[in-house]
Structure 1
Amino acid sequence: MNPYKHAQISQKRRGGEVEDYVDIHALIDSTKMLCTDNRHRILHTFWGVQEVIIPIFGHSFVNSAGKTIETKDLCEKDHLLVDFHHRFIPTLGDFVMAMDDIPTAGLAKRLEKFHADVIDNPQISATMLSPLSVTGQLKSLLITHNSWFVNTILPMMGMAKARFMEFDISPDMIFNPMRFEMWMDNGAFYPPSAKKLQEIKVKL
């Protein structure tokens, strides 16, 4: 489903105009530029909403009908759950578990150097390190320590300007080695984080 169709869902549920919502949905799906299959859905997570979408659009906004809309609720109900057929919302850890073919030799030093090269304040540092806090996996930092996050996401947050430089890490390092898992494909199967939910539903 494309961002415009998601925005039409939001308009039907919440009023206003499609244009009130399309930019949020477009950002959630913007990772299609990095990976053209459903492995791209790293922002279809609570981490993506909390650490990327809300810092850009705010916790709430007023639509053209004068109604206050909660950004988190909009993202979850009109986009994330819709794309996974209302069965679950995956965690960032689910995606990181699929990144098991990423070479780990020298990765810590490479990430440390990248961090030192592009970070100049504690707030940016906390945002960049948030995947590690959520997953406990060093390789998760590739999600923020790359040319796309630094030159697209951070400027949209108003936290930094785009840098004219050669980047040592690109988004290819995330997606090229990532396994495609069937749960990524429109909720056809449950991800690891929702296995217990699957077991409960089977028992019922």
Structure 2
Amino acid sequence: MAHPYHHALSSVKKWGGVVEDYLPIHSWFDESKAILADFRHRALRHHAEGIFMAERIFGNTITLSSGRVIPTRWVGEQHVREDLGRIPSFADWARAIRPEPWMGKAEKLSHLDEQPNESITS
């Protein structure tokens, strides 16, 4: 699937309603394309936690224009499965990230070294 519209068409075929019923959810999953325009954008939301996050944002259920009520989670699961063939965990994505030295480098908290704790004796 290349576009949220196509995911929404697939949702209509599966549960009824119209494209507009589903487009906000499918668009949310793919918003990360704005910061990374290749498949790696999926690491941000295309996983089990992302599906539960969509449920928190859009509610536990959505009411279709036909009046049918379906779980938001179904829509998220459909989106991720169509893109990846399965629902990975975030840990699956994280394991695939190749660590670089800069990722673990921390700056010294110099502001803590400059001013020792002063006792309050007023």
TM-score by length of 1: 0.48
Q: d(CA) in 1 for partners of 2:7 and 2:48?
A: 18
Q: Would you say the 8 A contact 2:21–2:65 is kept in 1?
A: yes
Q: d(CA) in 1 for partners of 2:98 and 2:8?
A: 31
Compute the displacement of 1:62 (Å): 0.7
Q: d(CA) in 2 for partners of 1:38 and 1:105?
A: 27
Name 1:96's counterpart in structure 2. 94
3-state DSSP of counterpart to 1:81: helix
User: How big is the alpha-carbon RMSD for the aligned residues of Structure 1 and Structure 2?
Assistant: 1.6
The letter of the residue matching 2:42 is: R
The higher radius of gyration belongs to 2
Q: Would you say the 8 A contact 2:25–2:75 is kept in 1?
A: no
Name 2:82's counterpart in structure 1. 82
**Residue 89 and residue 64 in structure 1: after superposition, are their counterparts in 2 closer, same or farther (change >3 A)?**
same
Number of aligned positions between the proteins: 104
The letter of the residue matching 1:47 is: E
Q: d(CA) in 1 for partners of 2:98 and 2:14?
A: 36
Residues 18-97 of structure 1 aligned to structure 2 (within 5 Å): 18-42=19-43, 43-50=45-52, 52-77=53-78, 79-84=79-84, 86=85, 88-97=86-95
TM-score by length of 2: 0.78
The letter of the residue matching 1:100 is: P
Q: d(CA) in 2 for partners of 1:53 and 1:68?
A: 16
Name structure 1 gaps, 5 residues minimum.
Answer: 110-204
Q: d(CA) in 2 for partners of 1:83 and 1:103?
A: 28
